[in-house]
Amino acid sequence: MHELAERILAHDVRAVARGLRFVDDRSGGYVQLLKDLFPHTGKAVVIGVTGNPGAGKSTLCDRLIEAYRKEGRTVGVLAVDPTSPYSGGAILGDRIRMGRHSTDDGVFIRSVATRGHLGGLSQSARDMVRVLDAYGAEVILIETVGVGQDEIEITRTASSTLVVMAPGLGDDVQASKAGILECADAFAVNKADRDGADSTVRDLELMIALGGETAAAASKSRGHTVHSEVAAGSAVVKDGAPVPERWTPPILKCVATRGEGIAEVVKALDLHRRWVEETEAGRARRQLRLAEEVREGLREALIEAAVGALGAKIDEAVRAVGARELDPYAATEKLIAEFRGGG
């Protein structure tokens, strides 16, 4: 077994940091590390936290960490940061985030820069979740900016996805909601003490209703409840509530800066976790996600293998296309034939 794997399984904090960097960089031997860790994974609850810029995702994550730690659960966080590494954004982000929890070794936080991950960011996120899972993190939060297709793909690596909204983020935000709808397992309407929170809730209700009628995969609007009271103890997700066979994303109001409404969000996510594990629909979704992972892993490994095998032949194809001796489509076909022919 990989020596690093042994140390990660022994809950060595420096080993997990190295392991995450190792996997993120796709350093030589990272696949073996993942193979060694795989049998020790599958226990963590993986929660995607996504939403538009300004919705307050980081603050909400901070509150969720606090809530999980109070329950005695260890937490891992992957913060997918769209800033370039050289801007210092990711590193700075880590320091700021660590501030509150830096003395708590039940929390492990790591920023992931999105640059240089062409085609492989969600695969990389999946692999890093496995490292945290093997290390022993019981709850893993993946925080992403939920705007691009890329970010939406990352949320699909989580078993539950929380979409964070906030009132008054402008018209284009409304437009971008539709793409988010399908991956939301719960909505948190943050900054719910601000004007416009009720209208955000109504927008979400309407969107779910519309989605439910035109897309089979989307939730039905019927029976959908809006949970409007903030921190008023409105136990909309009742303790010991039965797990529904059909999941409808609840809409939960909260004020993360003041810690209001957080308990409700935690309850909703716990119930969703049970839905994934205990219902047929939940298990079917899990299987679908697994199929996606295998296909996506295949996509990435194929191009890696092809680049390794073809080497300079790719450069020659680029030259020929540049000189317009060959069109790019014919160039690709030729390269694939050579790869398959054992080139």
**Which residues in 81-120 contact its own copies (CB under 8 A)?**
81-84, 86-87, 89, 114-115, 117-119
The CB-of-241 to its own copies minimum distance in angstroms stands at 28
194-210 core/surface letters (b: 16 or more CB in 10 A; e: else): eeebeebbebbbebbee
**Which residues in 274-313 contact its own copies (CB under 8 A)?**
287, 290-291, 293-299, 301-303, 305-307
The CB-of-205 to its own copies minimum distance in angstroms stands at 15
Task: Let me know: does 40 contact 134? Beta carbons within 8 Å.
Answer: yes
333 binds its own copies (CB under 8 A): yes
User: Contact region for its own copies (CB under 8 A) — 20-28, 135-143, 179-187, 268-276?
Assistant: 179-187
The CB-of-234 to its own copies minimum distance in angstroms stands at 30
Share of the chain residues as helix, strand and coil, in percent rounded to the nearest 5: 55, 15, 35
Choosing from 72, 195, 214, 312, the residue that interacts with its own copies (CB under 8 A) is 214
User: What letter represents residue 166's amino acid?
Assistant: A
User: What letter represents residue 327's amino acid?
Assistant: D
**Which residues in 233-272 contact its own copies (CB under 8 A)?**
none
Task: Let me know: does 33 contact 4? Beta carbons within 8 Å.
Answer: yes
Tokens at 72, concatenated = 């005695």
Choosing from 105, 172, 278, 325, the residue that interacts with its own copies (CB under 8 A) is 172
Distance between alpha carbon 282 and the CA centroid of its chain, in Å? 18
The CB-of-50 to its own copies minimum distance in angstroms stands at 11
Choosing from 34, 125, 132, 265, the residue that interacts with its own copies (CB under 8 A) is 34
Tokens at 143, concatenated = 């925080």
Which residue, 107 or 145, has its beta carbon nearer to its own copies?
Answer: 145
Choosing from 47, 134, 266, 317, the residue that interacts with its own copies (CB under 8 A) is 317
Site string for its own copies, 43-82 (x = CB under 8 A): ---------xxx--------------------------xx
User: What letter represents residue 28's amino acid?
Assistant: G
User: Contact region for its own copies (CB under 8 A) — 143-151, 157-165, 189-197, 219-227?
Assistant: 143-151
Strand order in the sheet with 251-253: 107-113, 75-81, 139-145, 45-51, 160-165, 186-189, 251-253, 226-227
The CB-of-209 to its own copies minimum distance in angstroms stands at 12
Which residue, 50 or 74, has its beta carbon nearer to its own copies?
Answer: 50
If we measure between CA atoms, which residue out of 77, 117, 70 comes closest to residue 96?
A: 77
The CB-of-264 to its own copies minimum distance in angstroms stands at 25
For residues 282 and 274, give the distance between their C-alpha atoms in angstroms, rounded to a whole number: 9
Apex CA 130: angle with CA 128 and CA 135, to 5°?
100
38 binds its own copies (CB under 8 A): yes
324 binds its own copies (CB under 8 A): yes
